[in-house]
């Protein structure tokens, strides 16, 4: 998903038509969908998947919990608008995830507010931050997801729902067949 807020017209681009096998979204399914994400003001935050399908295994945590809950039970070719509160989306903003570092630690002084910046923590793990602002020789970095604390509206269109092939399902099919 894109990480920057795009100010675009509030008209809704059409989502592609759906095809599928007549299954419903739920446990042991692979779902292909298109979606657009908007904030409470109806500004488009992400429309990357409006025309390019997003495919995922339901229940694996690839989508915010509130969105997965909202699409459960839908079939291919169905569309739905799902409102996801912050606590079921990207969580509430956590002020402890905002840090202050010396400006000299940035890779370039040309970094502007809103830029996403990756740095290593004390354990050598990579962390993604957003540059929030500058004060003298200090820069403030925010590790919260850019959509944390926001109620999000997803316009979703289910393109396809397939059965997830697993050894257990194959074994069940062999017994049934």
pLDDT reported for residue 2: 45
Residues 61 and 86 in one domain: yes
Domain assignment of residue 133, given as a range: 95-142
**116 located within any domain:** yes
Q: What pLDDT, in 10s, does the model give residues 50-102?
A: 999 999 999 999 999 999 999 999 999 999 999 999 999 999 999 999 999 99
CB atoms closer than 10 angstroms to residue 44? 21
> Residue 147 has which token pair?
């959509």
- What SS3 class is residue 66? helix
pLDDT tens-digit readout, 100-145: 999 888 877 667 898 888 888 888 889 899 999 999 999 999 999 9
Instruction: Report the pLDDT value the prediction gives residue 165, as an integer from 0 to 100.
Output: 80
Do 137 and 160 reside in the same domain of the chain? no
The DSSP line for 99-119 is: EEEEGGGSS-TT--TT-EEEE
What is the model's pTM? 0.74
CA distance 69 to 60: 12
Q: What is the CA radius of gyration of the chain?
A: 20
The total of structural domains in the chain comes to 2
CA distance 125 to 16: 39
Task: List, for residues 8-57, the tens digit of each pLDDT value.
Answer: 444 444 444 444 555 899 999 999 999 999 999 999 999 999 999 999 99
pLDDT at 169 over 80: no
> Are 71 and 130 found together in one domain?
no
* CATH classification at residue 153: 3.10.50.40
């Amino acid at each position: 998903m894109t990480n920057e807020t795009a100010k675009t017209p509030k008209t809704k681009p059409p989502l592609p038509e759906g095809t599928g096998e007549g299954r419903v979204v739920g446990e042991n399914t692979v779902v292909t969908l298109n979606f657009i994400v908007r904030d409470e003001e109806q500004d488009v935050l992400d429309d990357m998947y409006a025309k390019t399908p997003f495919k995922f295994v339901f229940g694996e945590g690839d989508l915010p919990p509130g969105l997965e809950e909202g699409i459960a039970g839908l079939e291919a070719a169905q569309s739905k608008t799902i409102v996801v509160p912050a606590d079921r989306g990207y969580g509430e903003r956590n002020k402890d995830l905002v840090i202050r570092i010396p400006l000299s630690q940035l890779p370039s002084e040309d970094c502007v507010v809103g830029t996403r910046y990756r740095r290593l923590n004390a354990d050598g793990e990579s962390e993604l931050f957003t540059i929030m602002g500058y004060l003298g020789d200090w820069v403030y970095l925010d590790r919260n997801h850019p959509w944390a604390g926001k109620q999000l509206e997803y316009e979703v269109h289910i393109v396809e729902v397939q059965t997830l092939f697993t050894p257990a399902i194959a074994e069940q099919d062999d017994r049934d067949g």
